[in-house]
Structure 1
Amino acid sequence: MLALGLVLNTLGIGLFCWLIFALAVYALPFFVALSVGMSAFRDGAGVFGALLIGIVSGALTLAAGQLALAVSRSLTLRVAIATVFALPAAIAGYHLVFALSQIGAPSLAWREAFACAGAACIAGTAWARLTLPARTRPSESAGVVENAHRPVLTAATHER
């Protein structure tokens, strides 16, 4: 029974860490959605209205960031946009790793070290997911493929 508990705890922590790295890009839209939703609720929009306004603002933040990254040709602007998205991921990663490190590290210095390393890893993951473009050919979407690979002539075609 103890072995089963250790295996399930390991799988649970692994799944939780995978989830954090997969959702690191969405830290800024979530922060914006939460802030705008709470502000709308405080101003009298009600629960449903605040929820709707928060979801829309978070979705618009994500869409605007992705659109700005896709349209911009300037490397400096792309790095600045990715950094704006990576900073909230770093803050969330720091607090998450600091909380998880309390399970196994009794020293405050080690918890801080683990938290800083985790923040750097999670921010790096969010930054890399935003800045690394998909590998596509430049004019493939227009239906024209430049420098297309030509099939190698086989022995049968040479004999004709």
Structure 2
Amino acid sequence: MFVLGILSSFAAVAAMCWLLFNLAVFALPFFVGLHAGIWVYGTGAGWLGAILVGGFAAGLTLAIGQALIILVRPLWARFVITLIFVVPASTPP
């Protein structure tokens, strides 16, 4: 029973690390989509327009980021692109 508790603790820590790194990738698209949606709502487009434009902006940001990671060859440039995606997740609110 003691071994089962240790193994479940390792599994929980691994799951939290996976969640942290996975959410770090989606932080920048989320913030871009959120701010685009707020801006569109402020222009008078309504809730539906804000949701559609925010979702499109978030998806486009994620797609551009993934395409850049695939297409850019120098390692330092990939590192810069990765930092651009990770920094919004690591800054305090």
How would you bin the TM-score normalised by the shorter chain?
Answer: 0.7 to 0.9
Code of the aligned partner of 1:83: L
Per the alignment, in what secondary structure is the counterpart of residue 44 of structure 1? coil
TM-score (norm 2): 0.76
Distance across 2 between alignment mates of 1:21 and 1:77: 20
Note the residue ranges of structure 2 that are not aligned, 5 or more in a row: 1-8
Q: Which amino acid aligns with 2:66?
A: Q
> Is 2:41 the counterpart of 1:38?
no
- How far apart are 1:21 and its partner, in Å? 3.6
Determine helix, strand or coil for the equivalent of 1:23.
helix
- Whether 2:25 is the aligned partner of 1:25: answer yes
5+ unaligned residues in a row in structure 1: which ranges? Answer: 1-10, 96-160
Moved over 6 A (4+): none
More helix, by proportion: 2
3-state SS of 1:27 partner: helix
TM-score by length of 1: 0.46
Higher RCO structure, 1 or 2 (CA under 8 Å, sep 6+): 2
Number of residues of Structure 1 aligned to a counterpart in Structure 2: 80
After TM superposition, give the deviation of residue 79 of structure 1 in Å. 1.2
1:84 to partner: Cα distance: 0.4
Q: Distance in 2 between matches of 1:53 and 1:67?
A: 21
Residue 87 (structure 2) pairs with residue 87 (structure 1): yes
- SS at the partner of 1:51? helix
Q: Percent identity?
A: 41
